[in-house]
Structure formats: C-alpha cells, structure tokens
Amino acid sequence: MPASKPPISLIETAGFQDYALIDSGGGRKLERFGRIVVDRPEAQALWQPGLARSAWEKAHAVFSASGEDDEKGRWRVDKPVPDGWPVAIGEATMTCRLQGLWHLGLFPEQMPHWQWMRDRIGRARAHRPDQRPRVLNLFGYTGAASLLAAAAGAEVTHVDASKKSVSWARENQAASKLSETPVRWIVDDASKFVAREVRRGRIYDIILVDPPKFGRGPAGETWDLFADLAPLLHDCARLLAPEGSSMILTVYAIRASTLAFGQLMADVLDGRGGVFDIGELAIREQGGRHAVPTSLFTRWCQDGMCNDGMMVGRGIGL
C-alpha cells in the first residue's frame, strides 16, 4: 500500500495589533507597521485592489521598483517617517526602518511560526523544568524570533552574516527590555558556524532556518540556496536533541515548490520519526478578502505533538 502524502497547508495570519495588511492588488500591498503605512511591491498580488485609490494615497512611503527587480529601487516618502519606529509583537519591540531594499526589518507573516516555536519551548520546559530549552536561529536577521524565544524561557543562539542586522537585533533586545535574557548574538556564516557546533557536540531543541536565495558571509563566503541548503540542513539534523526536538525551514522569493523542500527535510531527518507539516505562509487582508502568499515552509517535530492533522514522518510520501 503506498505511503500516504501530507496535505499542503496554508498558514495565514490576519496580522496583530501593530501590523495589518490593509489592501493588496495590482502587484502592490498596502500595510501598516505600527503607525506607519507603506505601499510596497508584491508580485503575487495578481488581483485588483479592493480599496479606492484615496486609501492608498494615505501611505507615508511608497517603494518604487527599478526595472523588473522589485528589490532594486528607492523609497518615496510622502509623509514624515522617523528614522526608526516601534512595532510591538508580544514581549518584543521591533524597530522598523525604511531600508534601501523594500524591507522594514520585520516579516509579520512569520507570526504563526513564532507562536508554534513558543509552544514547543513550553513543552520542552514542562519536560525539563530545571533546564532552559536551547534554540538556534540561523539567518536570524533583526531578531524577532530570537527575542520571542528568549522571552518564552529559551537559551537562544542567533546567527546572521550581517553585522548590521545583528546590531539592529541587539538594539531590538534593548527596546524590548529583554537585555537580561540569555541570547548569544553571533556574526558568522551560518554553514561554518553549524559545522563548528557539530564538532563541538552542541545540541539544540529547536532550530529555525530562514535562508535567503543568495547571500554573502562576513568573510566574503557565498551562499546559494540550491547548492548550500542541503548540506546545511544535514549538519542541523546532527545538532538536534535526541528527544522532543523541532525544526522550521522557511524559504522566500524563489521559483520552487514547497514539496521539494518538504522532501529535502524528510531526507535530512530520515530515521528520526516525528511529524511534518509543509505548505505556504500568507497574510490575510484586514477585510478578509484576499490572502497574499509570502513563503514556503516545512515544520518538523519529533514527539508527534505539533499540530492536529499533521502526518507521521518518513512514511508520509515525502
């Protein structure tokens, strides 16, 4: 009898108090980060906007793409925008900024993953109340996941190749009043760091992997998702605690299938049992009309107690 295949999940967030997807369409999205409204490119918003043009004209800033590349261009500031402003997410306070790319320092669609991570931390603490769960956050950017994990009681190792991003994350830690929480902030190439941790015999309960398509390390190392992801994940698997461990992989802005990354994770974690969930992340407009897809993901947990309806691992047809 053939192995059963897992359903493809769509995990949506409707935003939170300090974030909303106001409208989308025509290759754009209108969003509110705290008190600042921005108009940014979104190639997958193929439909027409739901709101009148006057609503879009209320944006503080508009990112104008250059040519066919949405990430090349500049911000046009139509209303005053501070150099940085706070956006609250649970116990974390993130400082958002208009960047040279269209990013602001926060990916709000990750909220369901952060909630899932906090649940896993809670389970680990319940089983081992005398020991902090260990979380490894690779390509950690400005630290939202790291700070929320630390606030939930984890010991966190945050790794990013960008000194600027790690400095920004430390600034967010201070703004969140979480300076006393145990977070190691490390500027390093993720693959090299993980390989060293394997040699050291380090163990983590939860690993988050959120890689770019292409990138460079602090010493000029190159990162290519399709060439380098599989070796990195194999090393990550060697760092996972033998019992009750979990891992999340999120992949953005590439021409690929969530099935491909689900199969890679199943291969990497062969023999570990557990359950997988694969699919896409999306943000739902505040009026409920459309959801904008943002990224592909695979989640795995070893104890089989992740989410209702998740399929059993390695016999799941991945």
> CATH no. for residue 171?
3.40.50.150
Which helix (DSSP H) or strand (DSSP E) does residue 85 occupy? strand 85-89
Distances (CA, A) of 183 to 8, 48, 147, 271, 299: 34, 44, 8, 31, 23
Shortest CA distance to 88 belongs to which of 165, 172, 170, 30? 172
In a domain, 77, yes or no: no
For residue 70, pLDDT beyond 70:
no
Position 307 confidence tier, pLDDT thresholds 50, 70, 90: low
Number of domains composing the chain: 1
pTM of the model: 0.89
Distances (CA, A) of 72 to 100, 220, 250, 252, 293: 8, 22, 23, 17, 21
pLDDT of residue 88: 97
Q: Span 231-259, mean pLDDT?
A: 90
Length of the chain: 318
pLDDT of residue 125: 85
In a domain, 290, yes or no: yes
In a domain, 176, yes or no: yes
In a domain, 96, yes or no: no
For residue 308, pLDDT beyond 50:
no
DSSP state at residue 229: H
pLDDT of residue 162: 94
Position 192 confidence tier, pLDDT thresholds 50, 70, 90: very high
Segment among 62-76, 99-113, 127-141, 298-312 with least mean pLDDT: 298-312
Q: Count how many Cα atoms sit within 13 Å of the Cα of residue 192 in the half-sphere of its side chain.
A: 14
Q: Span 135-160, mean pLDDT?
A: 97
pLDDT of residue 314: 35
Question: Mean pLDDT in the chain?
Answer: 89
For residue 44, pLDDT beyond 60:
yes
In a domain, 269, yes or no: yes
pLDDT of residue 67: 55
* Angle, in degrees to the nearest 10, between helices 225-239 and 258-268: 40
Which residues span the domain enclosing 282?
Answer: 8-14+106-312
